[in-house]
């Protein structure tokens, strides 16, 4: 089991498999990675690194990017994973409807899909893309059992903060018989240039909390998940509030690998990554342990 100097158990791995993307979300943090477009890890390199993390006690893996579904060998990447408790992907959903079945057959358990607005014009303003394809992707994933599908909405002041209710209804409509979809409301990180869009989503959380019939406090980042009935079905809404939040960091059990093969102890830092590309066996395990030792909460009291 990997435990850092702050007593945090590392159970979740997030691997970026590409930096390429077919959308242009203006707020994108690029998984905290400044470069790496030309030097993606191969399937066997990814498999080797994932196996080492598995051997060190990691339970769940999430594959991210860039847009991971742009990799032609994405199904090979999934089927090369060791037997983690859960293999998931985070995708913009534009290619999901056509690839969902094959992804599931390769061993994918579930998906997170980014969807910041259901309105075509707002969606285009944020991402440059077409919302219909993403909605299709979410519906397909729900139908074929890549569930629970987590719909990620980054809430931004003056852009889509007036659209939370319609997103709650949309996700609820997937949940008429059983929970297939969960809405994750994400506070936008205050990256340079994004300050004016930042909104403390605690106000939205209080409103949702007042309707909740059940509340779940998750181990991961101490996130709260609220369940309640709506006109369209059953809503499950989770809040992701990373900004200036020491509680979030104190309960962070995630570690990352960049698309060019560096272990990244924290999303918000680029100065403490540890290269693991080309390492094998004991050397690889030691490099991972070194990266874990470098972990420290970004926000603390
Ligand atoms: N292309 C994939 C996707 O769209 O899900 C994977 C990469 S994307 C960087 C992963 C997640 O990060 C998305 O859910 C996105 O909404 C979130 N994200 C990106 N930039 C962010 C920011 N500035 N603040 C908060 N979340 C952000």
d(CA 234, CA 110): 19
189 C-beta closer than 6 A to ligand 1: yes
Question: Quick check: CB of 152 below 6 Å from ligand 1?
Answer: yes
pLDDT of residue 219: 84
* Rounded to 5°, angle at Cα 32 from 29 and 35: 100
Residue 38 confidence (pLDDT) above 80: no
Q: How confident is the model at residue 233 (pLDDT cuts 50, 70, 90)?
A: very high
Q: Ligand 1: does its nearest atom lie under 6 Å from the Cβ of 31?
A: yes
Max CA distance (Å), the chain: 56
27 ligand 1 Cβ < 6 A: yes
Q: Cβ(94) to ligand 1 under 6 A? A: no
Whose C-alpha lies nearest to ligand 1, atom 18? 28
CATH code of the region 2-293: 3.20.20.70
Q: How far apart (Å, rounded) are the C-alpha atoms in residues 254 and 62? A: 10
Task: Categorize the per-residue pLDDT at 175 as very low, low, confident or very high, splitting at 50, 70 and 90.
Answer: very high
| pLDDT range class, residue 37, cuts 50, 70, 90 | low
Q: How many CB atoms lie within 10 A of CB 238?
A: 20
* CA separation, residue 69 to residues 50, 94, 180, 209 (Å): 18, 9, 21, 35
Pocket lining: 64 vs ligand 1, CB cutoff 6 Å: yes
Predicted confidence at residue 35, as pLDDT, reads: 72
- Which of the listed residues 23, 96, 154, 192 should we mutate to test ligand 1's pocket, taking the one with most ligand atoms within 8 A of CB? 154
- Token digits of residue 219: 């181990």
CB 109 less than 6 A from any atom of ligand 1: no
Q: Rounded mean pLDDT of 123-146?
A: 98
Residue position matching structure tokens 């240039």: 193
Residue with CA nearest ligand 1 atom 20: 28
Question: To the nearest whole number, what is the mean pLDDT of the chain?
Answer: 96
How do the domains of the chain map onto residue ranges? 2-293
């Amino acid at each position: 089991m990997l435990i850092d100097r702050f007593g945090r158990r590392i159970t979740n791995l997030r691997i970026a498999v590409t930096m390429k993307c077919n959308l242009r979300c203006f707020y994108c943090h690029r998984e905290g990675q400044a470069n790496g477009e030309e030097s993606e890890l191969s399937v066997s390199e990814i498999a080797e690194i994932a196996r080492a993390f598995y051997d060190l006690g990691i339970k769940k893996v999430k594959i991210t990017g860039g847009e991971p579904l742009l990799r032609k060998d994405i199904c090979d990447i999934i089927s090369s994973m060791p037997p983690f408790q859960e293999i998931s992907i985070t995708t913009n959903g534009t290619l999901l409807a056509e690839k969902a079945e094959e992804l599931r057959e390769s061993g994918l358990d579930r998906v997170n899909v980014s969807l910041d607005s259901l309105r075509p014009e707002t969606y285009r303003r944020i991402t440059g893309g077409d919302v219909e394809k993403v909605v299709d992707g979410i519906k397909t994933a729900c139908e074929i059992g890549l569930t629970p599908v987590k719909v990620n909405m980054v809430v931004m002041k003056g852009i889509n903060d007036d659209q939370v209710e319609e997103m709650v209804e949309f996700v609820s409509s997937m949940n008429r018989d059983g929970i297939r979809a969960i809405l994750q409301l994400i506070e936008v990180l205050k990256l340079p240039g994004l300050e004016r869009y930042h909104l403390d989503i605690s106000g939205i959380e209080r409103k949702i909390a007042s309707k909740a019939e059940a509340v779940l406090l998750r181990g991961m980042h101490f996130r709260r998940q609220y369940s309640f009935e709506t006109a369209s079905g059953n809503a499950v809404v989770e809040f992701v509030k990373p900004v200036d939040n020491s509680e979030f960091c104190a309960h962070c059990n995630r570690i990352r690998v960049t698309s060019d093969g560096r272990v990244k102890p924290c999303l918000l830092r680029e100065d403490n990554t540890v290269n693991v590309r080309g390492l094998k066996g004991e050397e690889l395990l030691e490099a991972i342990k070194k990266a874990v030792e470098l972990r420290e909460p970004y926000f603390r009291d």
